[in-house]
Structure 1
Amino acid sequence: MSAGLDQAHVRHAFGRAADSYEEHAVLQAEVGTRLRERLDGEDLAPRRVLDVGCGPGAGAAALHARFPDAQIVALDLAVPMLRAAARHAGSPPAFVRVAGDAQALPIADASVDLVHSSLCLQWCEDPGLALAEFRRVLRPGGLLLFSTFGPDTLKELRAAFAAVDGTPHVSRFVDMHDIGDALLVGGFRDPVLERDDFVLTYTDARTLMRELRAIGATNADTQRTRTLTGKAHLARVIEAYERFRRDGVLPATYEVVYAQARAPEPGQPRRERGADVATFPIERLRGSRR
């Protein structure tokens, strides 16, 4: 389930975007709100909540408002994001800020009741390893709740670059089928997967590209070209994007996958990849929809 991403690049890009992120991350804020709405039907009184990929801390603050008696731990790979989160933490701080990698959480085994992660998993080099870490830190029966981008995300921008050259310029994202399989392989119980499609519109492609840079969502593919894109090359990409223009605007599609599952009881083994439990069609997952 590896996404082939350069983690040093991810850390640097999001660290550089810490001060501009919230101004431009309108979609990310909406997805976070919709993700946490899935807690409305859950009977939860968590003692510890872990927010993985907390960014500048708005999600952690919302979790504190929902669960005021819980310890909220806000974790991010980029230290500048954690510094930016201080304004949401307040004084005394509503949550603890911790620097760490989702694929190697600095958290004790079976010490968390709720793992929350909004639009972080797609930036992991190996999302399957992150899911294994989520299972490790969750208490038996604990809840995992996350959102991530699916492969249709930025499909117009990807197609525009592909029309000009064969080098990846837009990061690849994991399919919902693979996410469901990975949850089952990891031993999670009762997985529920849902999908939303968002289409944002822009007057021109340069505005979209500037916005992506402002939130740190730059190309982290390990096979990307490491040199700067020349003006002539970029002009051809912008021209190629124009074929998607409708009603005077350019669309940018985002496929968002929401997932929740329960941590298994003690002693339940992880399933081997290729076992029947990890390969049945995604439609058989309760609550899933395409």
Structure 2
Amino acid sequence: MTDTTPRHGGNPLLDPRAVARQLRRLAALPQAPWLHADIARRMAERLGVIKLQPAVLLNWWGFLGDSREALSQAYPKAKQVWVEPTEALRLRSAELVRRSWWAALMGGAPAIEVQAESALVPGAAQMLWANMVLHAAPDLPTQLRRWQAALAVDGFVMFSCLGPDSLRELRPVYRAMGWGAPLQDWVDMHDIGDMMVEAGFADPVMDQERISLTWATPAALLKDLRLLGGNAAPLRFEGLRTPRWRARLEQALLPLAGPDGRLWLSLEVIYGHAFKAAPRLRMAQEVSLSAESLRSMAKQGAKRPA
């Protein structure tokens, strides 16, 4: 029998230690993962339904989200604050901002700041943008509450993330070979919508899109998947793999080829947006009255004219 108990104390869907290692590796890349700019463009096409023009825009995980161009075109007057989860990513984003400082100055664009999440002023932003971030959150409810706290009342959040059907073609391949989980599980969009309401967001709107990716060879497929992040499943194989195992994996991936001979995998991309609701006034659940107060109220009622 397979033990399905997570080997860490966090979210059972993914291992935070693996996510931390992936973030360190991705921070050293010359550019963000290749897919993210395209998803940012697709998400920006949905901004037409939002009429609010933010003065301060939080770009969550600015380097890895690769959304600068999309956001600058949509909100050229907004001040962008890139919020990074680690020191390595803050340094990486700061480097990008320095390189583009002169171009921004000449174009009259507002400066971009890079901050840690702990340095944010609560309620100071009108918009929070998070491209391809949420599926890597070790604790989704906590992450959504942090987003809600960072926004002003009536500010809005817009995000994208991977859904549970992403790369599903890999699961039967690994299962047939007895290799454990090839990737972590991801949360369904309806569950994310429920979590947003619980976090204090109003009227969340969720949508999904399915994208097909193709590669000429198994080696090219595996290289691109590594550039996207990696396997953070708690029950993944954590030891070192041998070149012989890699050759077996590439052979096992060959049946994924379509009629044109190219290997293909599918992605489910989830898009969502919602507004921060005004805080609700809490009513007392109980009202306590003394016996004397009740007698006084009864006497006053008896004295009223019919």
Bin of the TM-score, shorter chain as denominator length: 0.7 to 0.9
2:221 is the alignment partner of 1:245: no
- Provide TM-score, normalisation by structure 1: 0.81
Q: Which whole-Å deviations, capped at 9, do the CAs of 1:77-111 have from their partners, x for residues lacking one?
A: 244333333335621673111234xxxx5423222
User: Structure 1 pair 126/173, CA: closer, same or farther in 2 (3 Å)?
Assistant: same
SS at match of 1:169: coil
- The AA in structure 2 aligned to 1:98 is Q
Which residue of 1 is the match for residue 57 of structure 2?
49
Is 1:262 aligned to 2:275, yes or no? yes
Higher mean C-alpha displacement, 186-195 vs 10-19: 10-19
Counterpart among 15, 20, 27 of residue 6 in structure 1? 15
- Partners of 2:146 and 2:21 lie apart in 1 by 23
Per the alignment, in what secondary structure is the counterpart of residue 151 of structure 1?
coil
Aligned to 1:155, what secondary structure does the other structure show? coil
TM-score normalised per structure 2: 0.77
Give me the identity figure in percent. Answer: 27
Is 1:36 matched with 2:49? Answer: no
Could you tell me whether the CA contact under 8 Å between 1:170 and 1:218 is conserved in 2? yes
Once the 2 structures are TM-superposed, how far is the Cα of residue 65 of structure 1 from its aligned partner? 4.1
CA distance in 1, matches of 2:166, 2:30: 19
How many residues end up aligned between the 2 structures? 263
Of residues 230-239 and 122-131 in structure 1, the stretch that sits farther from structure 2 once superposed is: 230-239
Partner Cα separation in structure 2 for residue 233 and residue 157 of structure 1: 16
Name the structure, 1 or 2, with higher relative contact order (CA <8 Å, separation 6+). 1
Match of 2:114 among 83, 92, 97: 97
Output the CA distance in 2 between the equivalents of 1:49 and 1:116.
Answer: 7
Which of 143, 148, 170 pairs up with 1:130? Answer: 143
Q: Which runs of 4+ in 1 moved over 6 A?
A: none
Q: 2:80 aligns with which of 72, 79, 98?
A: 72
Q: Is 1:232 paired with 2:244?
A: yes
> Larger % of helix: which?
2
- TM-superposed CA distance for 1:75, in Å, is 1.4
Report the CA distance between 1:41 and its aligned residue: 3.0
Aligned pairs for 1:106-121 (under 5 A) are: 106-121=119-134
**How far apart, CA to CA, are the structure 2 residues paired with 1:149 and 1:225?**
22
Q: 1:47 to 1:249 in 2, by over 3 A?
A: same
Could you tell me whether the CA contact under 8 Å between 2:62 and 2:84 is conserved in 1?
yes
For 1:65 and 1:264, the matched residues in 2 are separated by 27
Mean Cα deviation higher: 26-35 or 160-169: 160-169
The match for 1:63 among 68, 71, 75 is: 71
> Radius of gyration: which is bigger?
2
The residue aligned with 2:213 is: 200
Flag structure 1 segments of 5+ consecutive residues without an equivalent: 270-290
User: For residues 20 and 203 of structure 1, what CA distance do their matches in structure 2 show?
Assistant: 23
Structure 1 residue 59: deviation in Å? 1.3
1:15 equivalent to 2:24? Answer: yes
AA in 1 matched with 2:48: D
Partner of 2:35: 27
Q: Cα RMSD between the aligned structures?
A: 2.5
Unaligned runs of 5+ in 2: 1-9, 105-110, 283-306
How has the CA–CA distance of structure 1 residues 6 and 21 changed in structure 2, closer, same or farther, with 3 Å as cutoff?
A: farther
